[in-house]
Amino acid sequence: MEKLYTRKNLEVIANGDDSFVKLMLETFYSSCRKAMEEVKEALVSEDFETIGKIAHKIKPSVDTVAPALSESVRKVEAIPDNNDVELVQLFVESLSATLDQLQTDLG
């Protein structure tokens, strides 16, 4: 199965410290899981401004750990301009799959 996330960028930053990489992956997991739940709640109330702010907040982490989602997180960040519900739902599904895989790999 293809990896939906990467350790490579964190390994460069960590300079060989595997415990740091694991800590950063765990932090990414918990912060993005929380953000994803907040996005779902904001989507129910069609609070696109909040969705954009949440996407902005997780963008650097997504760029580092899940670069395949970089373009999507930027589109979601711009959501207050277009209110594209389907785009947000697709991003949430993709992020959820990435987090599920990461959780499995972390044990």
- Mean pLDDT, all residues of the chain: 96
Indicate whether 1 belongs to any domain: no
- pLDDT per position as a tens digit, 45-77: 999 999 999 999 999 999 999 999 999 999 999
Please give the residue range of the domain that contains residue 32: 8-106
Grade residue 36 by pLDDT with cuts at 50, 70 and 90.
very high
Q: Please, how many CA atoms are within 13 Å of residue 77, restricted to the half-sphere of its CB?
A: 13
pLDDT of residue 2: 84
What is the percentage of the chain residues whose pLDDT exceeds 90? 93
Rounded to whole angstroms, the Cα distance separating 25 from 81 reads: 31
pLDDT of residue 104: 96
Asked if 45 and 76 touch (Cβ cutoff 8 Å), the reply is no
Helices (H), 66-84: 70-77
Cα dihedral 31→33→36→40 (10° resolution): -130
Indicate whether 39 belongs to any domain: yes
**pTM for the structure as a whole:** 0.92
Structural domain tally of the chain?
1
**CATH number, position 89:** 1.20.120
Indicate whether 24 belongs to any domain: yes
Q: What is the DSSP string of 21-58?
A: HHHHHHHHHHHHHHHHHHHHHHHHTT-HHHHHHHHHHH
Residue 98, pLDDT above cutoff 90:
yes
Indicate whether 2 belongs to any domain: no
Residue 1, pLDDT above cutoff 80:
no
Q: Which of 7, 31, 27 is nearest to 17 (CA)?
A: 7
Rounded to whole angstroms, the Cα distance separating 98 from 4 reads: 5
